[in-house]
Chains A and B, each alone.
Chain A
Amino acid sequence: MPGPWKAELFTMSDAPLKTLPDKQAVLAELSGHPAVKAILSWNADALKKAKFDRGELTLTVVPEEIVAACQTLRAAGYNFFEDMTAVDWFPQSPRYQLSYHLLSHKLKERIRLCALLDDPDPAIESITSVWAGANYYEREVFDLFGVHFQGHPNLRRILLPDDWTGHPLRKDYPVEGYR
């Protein structure tokens, strides 16, 4: 099974296919990884959590710094915004996990950038200023999870009708809907 990045672009003594469960382990083993390196040299305090699991690197940053983190990673070679969604961890706190998937065409590798938000007013800055293509994805998360994106040019419901009540992908919304 090939490693998550090409050997000629990034060298490691042993293939990092084992699980690195927390920030400490990731910093110890993967400090040379382009994304980790970029985040550390930008603002090491902004990195809250890190995880390497099943060949996928997850970096959790503080939600206030999401736009700067995206800009940093874009400059580090992760040029393509691939996907963005949320996970509702109700009734845990913080409740909402936003997952951004960023792809690098050059490194041929993907990382997951996370930000954790909490009730009662989940809000985060929009990254449409970095990637215009995040527009529909943020609208979808707003529509289905009720997370607000500050600075979004057109934050309206996208899949559901404008007069819909509630946010269906929240865990406290019944699967059958409200009757």
Chain B
Amino acid sequence: MVDVGTPILEVPEAQGTEGQHMILNMGPQHPSTHGVLRLVLEIDGETVLRLYPEIGYLHTGIEKTCEAKFYQQVVPLTDRIDYLGPMANNLCYALAVEKLLELEIPPKAQWMRVLLAELTRLNSHLIWLGTHAMDIGALTVFLYTFREREDILRLFEAIAGQRMMTSYIRIGGLSMEPPLGWLDRLQEFIKGLPEKIDEYSNLLTGNPIFINRLKGVGYLSQEDAIALGVTGPVARASGIDFDVRRDMPYSGYEKFQFQVPVSNDCDVWARYLLRLQEMRESIKIIQQALDGMPEGRVTADAPKIVLPDREKMKTQMEALIHHFKIVTEGFAVPAGEVYQCIESGHGLMGYYVVSDGTAKPYRVHMRYPGFATLQALETMCQGRLIADVVAVIGSIDIVLGEIDR
């Protein structure tokens, strides 16, 4: 039975100076805790005996705010939760509401969504790689990965008008057609990316310091990973062969060919290799989406839910009325409850939306992977050195925005 969360409030009285334990406060401003994570450690010398995460510094009450907004007004709120994977948030929320509405999404929108979700995964993994390596002490990789991340943000800016808070995937499809030449720009970027990944790999994979810091660190057995609710790359590195994209496909993922890398090594090194492999698989999916991009609309044929084209609003009275109605009154969603999950960059992301038949969601709950994975931190760090805690935090790819919500 694994133990989660016994608060460290005091240490037992030590007899003399031998074996004296100490409480160390790590964070919330420590640069290697990626945001505002606070860890309370009970240490004996350099060895971590217990670890207790204190979270909530970034809590903004998004779930409560959602209840006061129209369904379409929630989309920009979702961007701000996992701020490194905006499109994945948008996609998961949109799929949940579409399930409630039983709305049919045209193929081109589905393809674009898969493409953007994978681009988001690349974005998220690039930041993970840069910061993880930087935590270990390999500062150079950070500069390389942020070069490619900048390219992705420019692509996001071109398609959505925003670099990070994109809100591009909306209920019923996408907010607009991708601009002319955007797909060609993406193709060019994707073509060069495998080489860039080789470049990162060349810097790190054979590096003896990096290997020594990562191999055998942060062991998490398969049983513990299941018991603690761990998902995503961390779970797959512990031998759990489960990926929502393959096993419970959504948004047309069943039409794409890709591998789900799995490892049984259960350590930080395995998670590093697995994420690199995932990036290569993402590139393959984007390439397939680009090659087979269908023609047609990017929004569903549902004038009472999807905002009309600007051009139509200038010439058609009906479109103007629909626009006015959606913006001022929203649209009623049939009563019911749905749970929709997708595979985000960090693992299994789920949205639980409850509707009471009005234009505002009755309850929106977000299941984010980091929240559950954080519970496994103590198990992974117990008995290791303080320096290993930094490596483990990097390996679970922590984003506090998604944990505190």
Listed in ascending order, the chain A residues whose CB lies under 8 Å from chain B are 2, 53-56, 58, 79-83, 85, 87-88, 99, 101, 105, 108-110, 112, 128, 131-137, 139, 144, 153-154, 156-161, 168-169, 173, 175
Q: Which 9 A-B pairs have the closest CB atoms?
A: A133-B229, A83-B367, A159-B56, A85-B365, A133-B228, A135-B4, A159-B59, A175-B68, A108-B247
Q: A80-B226, A161-B56 are in contact. Are A136 and B374 (CB under 8 A)?
A: yes
Chain B window 8-26, contacts with chain A (Cβ cutoff 8 Å), 1 for yes, 0 for no = 0000000000000000000
Bound: A55/B63 CA distance, A = 25
- A177 → chain B, closest Cβ, in Å? 8
- Size band of the interface chain B makes with A: 35 or more
Among candidates B65, B337, B348, B362, residue contacting A82 with C-beta atoms closer than 8 Å = B348
| CA of A24 to CA of B367, assembled, Å | 31
CA distance A98 to B270 in the complex (A): 37
Which residue of B4, B7, B336, B338 contacts A156 across the interface (Cβ within 8 Å)?
B7
Q: How far apart sit A80 and B222, CA to CA, in the bound complex (Å)?
A: 12
A133 touches which of B56, B354, B375 (Cβ 8 Å) = B375
Alpha-carbon distance between A87 and B226 when the two chains are bound, in angstroms: 26
Which chain A residue shows the least CB distance to B60? A159
Could you list 23 A-B pairs, sorted by A, with CB under 8 Å? A2-B249, A53-B337, A55-B99, A80-B226, A83-B367, A101-B367, A105-B240, A108-B247, A110-B248, A110-B339, A110-B341, A134-B229, A136-B372, A137-B371, A154-B6, A158-B56, A159-B56, A159-B59, A160-B56, A160-B59, A161-B56, A169-B63, A173-B64
Cβ-defined contact, A82 with B5, below 8 A: no
B229–A131 CB distance below 8 A = yes
Which A residues touch B367, using CB under 8 A?
Answer: 82-83, 85, 101
User: Is the pair B59, A154 in contact by a Cβ cutoff of 8 Å?
Assistant: no
Could you say which residues of chain A place their CB within 8 Å of the CB of B2?
A: 132
Interface centre among B1, B4, B241, B336 (most CB of A within 10 A): B4
Q: Tell me whether A54 and B228 are in contact (CB under 8 A).
A: no
Report if B67 contacts A (CB, 8 A): yes
Q: Is A101 a contact partner of B350 (Cβ separation < 8 A)?
A: yes
* A54 B67 Cβ-Cβ under 8 A: no
Distance between B367 CB and nearest chain A CB, rounded to angstroms: 4
Determine the distance from Cα of A88 to Cα of B363 in the docked complex, in whole angstroms.
8
Chain B contact residues, CB within 8 Å of chain A:
1-7, 55-56, 59, 61, 63-65, 67-68, 99-100, 102, 226-230, 240-242, 247-249, 254, 336-339, 341, 348, 350, 352, 354, 362-363, 365, 367, 371-372, 374-375, 404-405
A110 / chain B contacts, CB cutoff of 8 Å: 248, 339, 341
Inter-subunit contact A105/B254 (CB<8 Å): no
Q: Tell whether, in the assembled complex, residue B339 and residue A56 are in contact, meaning their CB atoms are under 8 Å apart.
A: yes
Q: Is the CB of A58 within 8 A of B348?
A: no
CA distance A168 to B362 in the complex (A): 14
CB of A83 within 8 A of CB of B339, answer yes
Inter-chain contacts of B59 with A (CB < 8 A): 159-160
Tell me which of B63, B229, B230 has the highest count of chain A C-beta atoms within 10 A of its own C-beta.
Answer: B229
A136 to B350, CA, bound (A): 16
